[in-house]
Structure 1
């Protein structure tokens, strides 16, 4: 017997039994209960040895990160065994749980991600399966809570998921608002980017009143799995009473409006199975009372429709019908008041219920009747029978006669404002009634006459100044006016009959308004009747022969209403005047001018909004040309440049009194350009502003005009500016709380780009301008601390969206021209966008800053995603010639991007059908000029003002006028300096951002007799301040050549800028034709002073000849205050960033980072096409220049004698000044200069 007892004891040794049982349990879950019982007996023999063996056996599983079935099965088994509680071995179970969880808490903080994942998984499984009454030490719980909260911030998604699951049973209910677990859950819902984590948090959130709002908010999560889980939690954990009325309506609005079928099905299941059947016991009216249908009418309608679709018993619902609210025979009194009081009144839920039930039955009857008519045989018989049953149900629900229906409605109308909702629901049933016979129509006409002629009174305690809405829709309830209008059309369905009735009622109420003395309510009621009359006719000719004429309505009602002091009367008058102008054959001058004056004079935002809507509708009806001709405003061609105009955008946003002259001038501006200035200006600090109603109206109006761009050609004038603003508004933080506005823009952009290839090219045209405006740290955009990365992501998101718009397929009805054997010949703007991006990358000045590097890298990544087609031959050649320069400007370290660009280079070469031929400079300038046509349109600045560029003719006239003025001065000065060798002249320039050592204070110390050679500014950044000084030199040159001093042409002035200082360029040319510098100082060293003869004037002297063989482009100059070109193409692409207290025109020292004068001259002679270098530039010139600079840095270049003047400015040696000028054929090799090093010399 003793031997028989000793054998089981030896067999239960942990080091033997534990591995054997684990091997058995890893194959099937069915063996787990038996294995747990064996392990409990084994643990009772030696608990310490059992724990050591147990941990040793499970250690290999913690190194497996994959969700292998065997590993998952063993984790489940380990959790089940740890949570197993046996009363016989209670102490062993408690000790094992504490020891094993203690070991897992140490592994939770391991550096190996798989170990952390498995530890959190096992802890969560154990906590979920532990019984409620398990005695566990409080210290252990605190350690688990702290550890899991730390793992909620782990970088591994799976770790965060199981950490959130483990905390689900560790919530303290005493102070739920300040509980650490709930706070961690809320933080994860707000900031965690992974849908798996948010889903687990929603499933683990405790069901309490304090957490209902957090769960309801997740019904708008971006992930459909999270939304589906949220509706599951709301159905299983929360009763309908736990949610507020607003939360119930919000949940149903989002759920029943879902686009994902699985999520919507979950919401419908929650509504039908839980809220309707379980919480409301199958009573529809009770469910509607939970929703407060007076406030949330749309949600109540959706609930009724969904329940009817889900198989609600129609026969049971129709019991009683509306007839139960009619009086019986013995209740009818002799008088009208007694008869109306005998009707039973419906509450809001009952009225909505019967209206939706009648509408559903009527639609079912029509659908079944249509199916019966379109089919045959047995199916037709079945459909006809179903239609007959539906008609029978409808007759049971509706009142027996029209007279009973009219009296029921009249009883609710007499009930006052509290029964207004029920009366409106009954009025909407009128479309189901039959008004064919004269008796029923006479009864309904009497009710309509009472509704139209009864002037509503103010509510108790409300003054006339606080009245909102028109006469039929007081207090902003527009649905009541719409119901009355629908009832009127049902009663007077004959053509012209309703117009006569409305005209007669209008004559009765227009007397006090014409004679004076009418109060606000009378004005509003009269204008409401006028609006109904205008909406019933197709043109003003239909009003001929009625009780009141159209011109009388305009002169006696509409124009005085527009000038009324009360804002609601003014708003209603503007609305009616807009409809009146649309009904005219041609818009009248008086009406159009009154709308425009109201737009500029009114300080009421909602009056301005109505004026915007009226003007946009007027443009869509008659066209912008007809509207402008009505005001005698003559327009140029749609594609022509503008005359210099006024800054008009401030008229829409200033709060002060405006000068009368401004409004006289605003009447002379074309209507499209006037409305384009209505966009709300952005806050320069970058704060989110509330979107004004006028901005929302302008967005919707311009969206309509742009979609009708084929018929409204005048929109081309402001197309680029408007598109930029719409893109920025769509992604602006200020529109986050305006879903209707964002939905409008989303639908518009997709429809606009799918409409035609021209619209896609318009998006391509504004791409770079929008990116430059939104990218922080470049072109004067501010970098706010802590938001730079977010701003860059925001700008990149805008770029991805515009790229997606370019890749949308065109509509099927759009005709495309196909070339046999080639790809599509439709130009969608991809190649043009790539050229613009290449130009932006090459011409950007802030290449060395972090903002510039990230900006260039982001733009270049977009180029790799574009679609290039061989049919665009010239653009492909242009890209092939620009690509090497772009690759030179790529930020260092972008190896992946460089590889993609090399692949792109190979791809472009394959598309180039004639690689042996290259584009000339003239062809390149022509392409760049076509792509930079955006500058022919006005630019809306950040402060909302509209900037109009000047015509070249205006500039030419201005220069000629200056030449006449300075002729006497030239006679006194003479031409004694003509023909001398030009010295170094100081030219106003705004090059790279100057270092702090070259600021205003340092520049002021320069001697007046000292001149520093500077790179001349590009044509787009030149100002008229330089014009008179250069004009003197040009006039002297012409005088020496025997030309007239009073005739100075624009092309001569441009040639002066191209030839000025050409002799001062410190460059020479190698034998191979490549450009390199000689005698240039290294690392900030400057040259030697050039001794000028005494008496020589410091006035800049032009060179005797021009270096450019190509005639310059006639580019209009920008004003001095404009330091940033918001459009993006056509200038050098360089924007000056000037620190506070620093002069824009401060000259920089000539050093390693300076560009040679000949380079700038070459760019100006090329028309300043995006700041690009010469097209014939090769990589050898770039490498040669850099090698030469490295040689100068090492001391191999020629050393120049350094002399220092009294003022401390280092002069340039005369040998360098007298260097040979660079010819026009030389190439530019320094389009990406490095900034000069700030090393102080001994002279300083």
Structure 2
């Protein structure tokens, strides 16, 4: 229809042009023959034909303009927007981190990215969020302007879009840190002309800006902490991975969040989440081995984590977690020998602080059932060999033995006290091993060994220790059976040596022979 209409207009225009040419030719003939009345009529007809021609040309121009407008109309369908946003994301990924946002990218941000965030299609919104987060990596001003928007999207939109916004927030915090929140520009203030007024104004603004930045950081941490309890497993996993990145990079140091991650790792609800379990399992090892400060953070979260598990209600999934396994993990993570870069040997060991904390917890409630667990933790610690610290810890452990009544825990604490006292009474071998060997010293040592005949031989220690182990196990069983009874505490008696036993038997045999001789004499 359009082609036929255009052809009809073209034919009509050609006819008008031919009529104009014929009328002009007739006008010239009338003028030459001096027929002025006829010439006036032809002139009027030529004017009408030219007006008709102009109208036809104007209609053609308007039609072509409409066609151009239709071809140049901006498309806003979801497929086109998604294609354009995808190209923007790939372009931003190829840009170097130090490259700033130019005028062209700023125009694309204002005309394409920001309007697409409110689009009805979830795929378009998700790609727009990715574009905004990637743009913010290249400009602090964009972070200050649109960080609140990303936080709102992370809380209110669909799960997939929330995860994209959360990734963007974590990336921004990894790059700029939480100090960026304190640098956010506030509203413009009126400038004062007096220097004193300016100083007073600056002094009043600094605490306000710091408080605002700390409150924003607290709100972000609270949001991340709430996401750890989310029913959406993908969001929970992404949050745990983001917190692990922030803690490992040093942007966050929080014993509470570390305790939350440990509980999340042991929670039976996350048993099927392979990515979460693998991520946290690798993070704990790398985080604790990185520095002593990280081990101190693990030590600080030790008691809160165990108390959360011990106080978990029966309906909670945490009630199924093995508390002993958790304690063993935290003890292993805080060993000084596991550090990549060992610290100063004269520095106080992390396990020393942990031992004091555990002893204090035992003294708070000596009759609690978890006293046995704490005693087992104490016996597995790597304590420093410093004399003053050992004496202080022995004094604290002796206070524990006076308060605790559980026999198994009491036996473990007494054994630890004996080990500490023995290590404290022995000379420091680290100073003698570095000295050269002296022959005279070696001979004197051999003489001392020969003189000490009462010592059992090296091969004779194994059966005695085995018997002692059997005896301790039997005594442990008897003590468990008699926990409910009020039995007085037994005083540990040193076991006599084999020579002493033989001497006692010989003495008894001599006494019996004397009695037999007396009976024979009387008879």
Q: For residues 891 and 587 of structure 1, do their structure 2 counterparts lie closer, same or farther at Cα, with a shift above 3 Å needed?
A: farther
CA deviation string 1:215-245 (max 9, x = no partner): xxxxxxxxxxxxxxxxxxxxxxxxxxxxxxx
Cα distance in 2 for residues equivalent to 1:864 and 1:668: 41
Pairs aligned (count): 334
Contact 1:592–1:630 (CA under 8 A) maintained in structure 2: no
Q: Of 603, 627, 630, which aligns to 2:157? A: 603
* Matched residue, 2:313: 782
* Matched residue, 1:528: 86
CA deviation string 1:70-125 (max 9, x = no partner): xxxxxxxxxxxxxxxxxxxxxxxxxxxxxxxxxxxxxxxxxxxxxxxxxxxxxxxx
Q: For residues 860 and 869 of structure 1, do their structure 2 counterparts lie closer, same or farther at Cα, with a shift above 3 Å needed?
A: same
Q: For residues 690 and 585 of structure 1, do their structure 2 counterparts lie closer, same or farther at Cα, with a shift above 3 Å needed?
A: closer
CA deviation string 1:292-340 (max 9, x = no partner): xxxxxxxxxxxxxxxxxxxxxxxxxxxxxxxxxxxxxxxxxxxxxxxxx
CA deviation string 1:36-89 (max 9, x = no partner): xxxxxxxxxxxxxxxxxxxxxxxxxxxxxxxxxxxxxxxxxxxxxxxxxxxxxx
Given the two structures, how large is their TM-score scaled by the length of structure 2? 0.57
* Matched residue, 1:593: 148
* 1:595 Cα deviation after fit: 1.3
Contact 1:728–1:770 (CA under 8 A) maintained in structure 2: yes
* Matched residue, 2:385: 870
Contact 1:831–1:868 (CA under 8 A) maintained in structure 2: yes
Q: Of 149, 169, 177, which aligns to 1:623? A: 177
* 1:565 Cα deviation after fit: 3.0
* Matched residue, 1:791: 319
* 1:873 Cα deviation after fit: 4.0
Cα distance in 2 for residues equivalent to 1:708 and 1:525: 35
Contact 2:130–2:164 (CA under 8 A) maintained in structure 1: yes
* 1:841 Cα deviation after fit: 1.3
* Matched residue, 1:173: none
SS for the counterpart of 1:752 is helix
Q: For residues 682 and 586 of structure 1, do their structure 2 counterparts lie closer, same or farther at Cα, with a shift above 3 Å needed?
A: closer
Contact 2:119–2:125 (CA under 8 A) maintained in structure 1: yes
Q: Of 579, 591, 608, which aligns to 2:134? A: 579
Cα distance in 2 for residues equivalent to 1:890 and 1:630: 55
Cα distance in 1 for residues equivalent to 2:422 and 2:186: 56
Cα distance in 2 for residues equivalent to 1:888 and 1:792: 33
SS for the counterpart of 2:215 is coil
Contact 2:292–2:339 (CA under 8 A) maintained in structure 1: no
Q: How does 1:1076-1091 map to 2 (within 5 A)?
A: none
Cα distance in 2 for residues equivalent to 1:701 and 1:682: 11
* Matched residue, 1:839: 360
Contact 2:82–2:124 (CA under 8 A) maintained in structure 1: yes
Q: Of 271, 286, 304, which aligns to 1:769? A: 304
Q: How does 1:381-420 map to 2 (within 5 A)?
A: none
Q: For residues 631 and 699 of structure 1, do their structure 2 counterparts lie closer, same or farther at Cα, with a shift above 3 Å needed?
A: farther
Cα distance in 2 for residues equivalent to 1:793 and 1:618: 35
Q: How does 1:1226-1241 map to 2 (within 5 A)?
A: none
* 1:539 Cα deviation after fit: 4.2
Pair 1:705 & 2:246 matched: yes
SS for the counterpart of 1:783 is coil
Runs of 5+ unmatched residues, structure 2: 1-71, 188-207, 426-488, 490-523
SS for the counterpart of 1:867 is coil
Cα distance in 1 for residues equivalent to 2:237 and 2:222: 13
Cα distance in 2 for residues equivalent to 1:751 and 1:586: 34
* 1:605 Cα deviation after fit: 1.9
* 1:618 Cα deviation after fit: 0.6
Cα distance in 2 for residues equivalent to 1:872 and 1:699: 42
Cα distance in 1 for residues equivalent to 2:342 and 2:377: 28
Cα distance in 2 for residues equivalent to 1:753 and 1:581: 32
Contact 1:841–1:856 (CA under 8 A) maintained in structure 2: yes
* Matched residue, 1:744: 279
* 1:723 Cα deviation after fit: 0.3
CA deviation string 1:1109-1165 (max 9, x = no partner): xxxxxxxxxxxxxxxxxxxxxxxxxxxxxxxxxxxxxxxxxxxxxxxxxxxxxxxxx
CA deviation string 1:514-555 (max 9, x = no partner): x6x6122222111100101001111474765xxx71211221
Q: For residues 912 and 552 of structure 1, do their structure 2 counterparts lie closer, same or farther at Cα, with a shift above 3 Å needed?
A: farther
Q: For residues 574 and 878 of structure 1, do their structure 2 counterparts lie closer, same or farther at Cα, with a shift above 3 Å needed?
A: farther
Q: How does 1:909-948 map to 2 (within 5 A)?
A: 909=421
Cα distance in 1 for residues equivalent to 2:214 and 2:411: 56
Q: For residues 541 and 861 of structure 1, do their structure 2 counterparts lie closer, same or farther at Cα, with a shift above 3 Å needed?
A: closer
* 1:632 Cα deviation after fit: 4.9
* 1:857 Cα deviation after fit: 0.8
CA deviation string 1:864-915 (max 9, x = no partner): 10011034845x4442232123223435342xx43331121133345669xx
* Matched residue, 1:366: none
* 1:668 Cα deviation after fit: 7.7
Runs of 5+ unmatched residues, structure 1: 1-510, 634-641, 646-664, 684-688, 818-823, 914-1182, 1184-1244
* 1:617 Cα deviation after fit: 0.5
Q: For residues 668 and 800 of structure 1, do their structure 2 counterparts lie closer, same or farther at Cα, with a shift above 3 Å needed?
A: closer
SS for the counterpart of 1:574 is helix
SS for the counterpart of 1:670 is helix
SS for the counterpart of 1:705 is helix
Q: Of 223, 234, 244, which aligns to 1:693? A: 234
Q: For residues 706 and 531 of structure 1, do their structure 2 counterparts lie closer, same or farther at Cα, with a shift above 3 Å needed?
A: same
Q: For residues 827 and 575 of structure 1, do their structure 2 counterparts lie closer, same or farther at Cα, with a shift above 3 Å needed?
A: farther
Q: For residues 623 and 678 of structure 1, do their structure 2 counterparts lie closer, same or farther at Cα, with a shift above 3 Å needed?
A: closer
Given the two structures, how large is their TM-score scaled by the length of structure 1? 0.25
Pair 1:882 & 2:396 matched: yes
Q: For residues 573 and 792 of structure 1, do their structure 2 counterparts lie closer, same or farther at Cα, with a shift above 3 Å needed?
A: closer
Q: For residues 911 and 536 of structure 1, do their structure 2 counterparts lie closer, same or farther at Cα, with a shift above 3 Å needed?
A: same
Cα distance in 1 for residues equivalent to 2:387 and 2:83: 63
Contact 1:880–1:908 (CA under 8 A) maintained in structure 2: yes
* Matched residue, 1:495: none
Cα distance in 1 for residues equivalent to 2:232 and 2:279: 14
SS for the counterpart of 1:869 is coil
Q: How does 1:469-480 map to 2 (within 5 A)?
A: none
Q: For residues 774 and 612 of structure 1, do their structure 2 counterparts lie closer, same or farther at Cα, with a shift above 3 Å needed?
A: same
* 1:771 Cα deviation after fit: 0.3
Cα distance in 2 for residues equivalent to 1:691 and 1:886: 46
SS for the counterpart of 2:224 is coil
* Matched residue, 2:224: 678
Q: For residues 677 and 764 of structure 1, do their structure 2 counterparts lie closer, same or farther at Cα, with a shift above 3 Å needed?
A: same
* Matched residue, 1:559: 114
Contact 2:336–2:350 (CA under 8 A) maintained in structure 1: no
Contact 1:543–1:550 (CA under 8 A) maintained in structure 2: yes
Q: For residues 569 and 809 of structure 1, do their structure 2 counterparts lie closer, same or farther at Cα, with a shift above 3 Å needed?
A: farther
RMSD of Structure 2 on Structure 1 (CA): 3.4
Q: Of 294, 315, 321, which aligns to 1:759? A: 294
Q: For residues 528 and 831 of structure 1, do their structure 2 counterparts lie closer, same or farther at Cα, with a shift above 3 Å needed?
A: same
Structure with bigger gyration radius: 2
SS for the counterpart of 1:549 is helix
Pair 1:518 & 2:76 matched: yes
Q: For residues 543 and 669 of structure 1, do their structure 2 counterparts lie closer, same or farther at Cα, with a shift above 3 Å needed?
A: closer
* Matched residue, 2:417: 905
Q: For residues 860 and 815 of structure 1, do their structure 2 counterparts lie closer, same or farther at Cα, with a shift above 3 Å needed?
A: closer
Q: For residues 588 and 681 of structure 1, do their structure 2 counterparts lie closer, same or farther at Cα, with a shift above 3 Å needed?
A: closer
* 1:861 Cα deviation after fit: 0.5
